[in-house]
Amino acid sequence: MSKKPRGRPRAYDPEVALWQALETFWANGFSRTSLDALAAATGMNRPSLYAAFGDKKSLYLKSFDCFAGQLHAALDNAAHSEAPLEATLHDFFRNAIEIYMSGPDGPRGCFIICTAPAEAAMDADIRAALKAALEEIDRGLEIPFAKAKAEGRLPPDADTAALARIAASVLHSLAVRARAGETKEALHALARQSVQSLC
Amino acid sequence: MSKKPRGRPRAYDPEVALWQALETFWANGFSRTSLDALAAATGMNRPSLYAAFGDKKSLYLKSFDCFAGQLHAALDNAAHSEAPLEATLHDFFRNAIEIYMSGPDGPRGCFIICTAPAEAAMDADIRAALKAALEEIDRGLEIPFAKAKAEGRLPPDADTAALARIAASVLHSLAVRARAGETKEALHALARQSVQSLC
DNA sequence: ATGATTTTTTGCGAATTGGTACAAAATGTC
DNA sequence: GACATTTTGTACCAATTCGCAAAAAATCAT
């Protein structure tokens, strides 16, 4: 454990600074976020930002991974749920909606779905990160379906991968709808009806 | 019909210039697209661009409306289809996938879903345009479901509005997935399975 | 204390941004 | 041909962009 790094101590906590940068990208998207805005949000100045996280895109990708970590935890939670399939999915969606509707300046939707696609067409790195995140959602959501099928709570010929991809699609849509300003009630209704339709 | 506008004739066709601007925004998103790029794409110079379409955001919103017009036509087509519900939906998705996978520099997904959300959180005008477009999709897709229900091809207690919103969610997801680089086959499979699940 | 080491701070700089003023060019009208 | 009218082209502006160099500050080791 490095206790005394020997030089001038850092004036910031890398973890909270990264989260503050993430919030800035989340609200404004990648291209619209300037290094000045990131410096203001983190309380760091540009050279320190650069030294700590590399250039702007590198910082965005680190923020992306940070958010993807949260997503991974939520999927893991759903995968290990002991509750029946419907309840598991519903909890998962409810948690997602809670995050999508949060934010100091109004609903922000999903960091990944709402900020990465704009850049993905012309930026291969961001496209690859987006693709990997989508695949993780698809794979993560399949587990609860597969468990339900194994327990006989779904027809034996149910295509769990396909059901998971449809559930993931609803998640993507919830992300966009939240950012567009749909009400929380409308989002919950969509989640409820899609769960009903899939189980 | 104004035949002779009296001054120096325009060197561009406003309709094709608008479409060229749309293509530039489509590939790069709003914030990453510069006026120089728009001028190069349209073959106009900046002052002419400005005179013809107003400032950058105004041009983006006009491009948005242009794309929304195409979307409206596709929805209208689905609404007036004489084919059974499954075929109508499948044709609609197939057409969407064709557009999402097109593009000179690789798949671009949907102009609306892939470029507007990034700006929507901080820009009320773009958010409103996005919201309106999402609502039009929801409402447009409900018509085929309602017709099927009226013809007894769906259970009498089917919630057609809910089914339409789920179908719309799959459309949104197809847009993002295409831009992330999923294969055309994977997109068609998702479309097919969702139609199967909804009908 | 002195020096090594790491971070912060200040300030720069080359490039790009969105937007505009103004003159030159191309047309119709008289 | 002379003039009014509209668009184009050149040039410019102030502001912002990302990135970095170099000095100043804060700590540890000796």
User: B102-128 pLDDT, tens per residue?
Assistant: 999 999 999 999 999 999 999 999 999
CA of B11 to C1' of D2 (A): 26
CB A88 within 8 A of CB A140: no
User: A32-52 pLDDT, tens per residue?
Assistant: 999 999 999 999 999 999 999
CA distances for B44 relative to B22, B41, B53, angstroms: 14, 8, 12
Nearest CB among B27, B119, B173 relative to A173 is that of: B173
Residue B38 pLDDT > 50: yes
CA A104 to chain centre: 17
CA of A58 to C1' of D18 (A): 13
Q: CA geometry: angle at A112 spanning A168 and B22, to 5°?
A: 100
Mean residue pLDDT across chain A: 94
The rounded distance, in Å, linking the Cα atoms of B43 and B48 is 10
Nearest CB among A163, A169, A180 relative to B127 is that of: A180
**B48: pLDDT confidence band, cut at 50, 70 and 90?**
very high
| Interface contact B190-A165, CB threshold 8 A | yes
CA of B6 to C1' of C30 (A): 13
The amino acid present at A29, given as its one-letter code, is G
Q: What share of chain B is helix, strand, coil (3-state, %, to 5)?
A: 70, 0, 30
Per-residue pLDDT of chain A (199 residues; tens, 9 = 90+): 445 667 788 888 889 999 999 999 999 999 999 999 999 999 999 999 999 999 999 999 999 999 999 999 999 999 999 999 999 999 999 999 999 999 999 999 999 999 999 999 999 999 999 999 999 999 999 999 999 999 999 999 999 999 999 999 999 999 999 999 999 999 999 999 999 999 8
**CB-based contact (8 Å) between B56 and chain A?**
no
**B3: pLDDT confidence band, cut at 50, 70 and 90?**
low
Residue B26 pLDDT > 70: yes
Structure tokens, B184:
């055309």
**CB-based contact (8 Å) between A180 and chain B?**
yes
User: B154-197 pLDDT, tens per residue?
Assistant: 999 999 999 999 999 999 999 999 999 999 999 999 999 999 99
Q: CA geometry: angle at B79 spanning B174 and B161, to 5°?
A: 70
Residue B4 pLDDT > 80: no
CB A114 within 8 A of CB B121: yes
Average pLDDT over residues B23-42: 96
Counting every residue written for chain A, the total comes to: 199
User: B65-111 pLDDT, tens per residue?
Assistant: 999 999 999 999 999 999 999 999 999 999 999 999 999 999 999 99
* The pLDDT value given to residue B7: 78
Nearest CB among A31, A165, A172 relative to B176 is that of: A172
Least confident window among A6-10, A30-34, B18-22, B149-153: A6-10
* The pLDDT value given to residue B1: 46
Q: CA geometry: angle at B68 spanning B57 and A115, to 5°?
A: 55
* Chain B residue numbers touching A179 (CB-CB < 8 A): 117, 120-121, 127, 130
Residue B55 pLDDT > 80: yes
Query: Chain A to chain B, count of Cβ pairs less than 8 Å apart?
Result: 171
Q: Identify the CA nearest to B171 among candidates B112, B115, B126.
A: B112
Structure tokens, B22:
């749309």
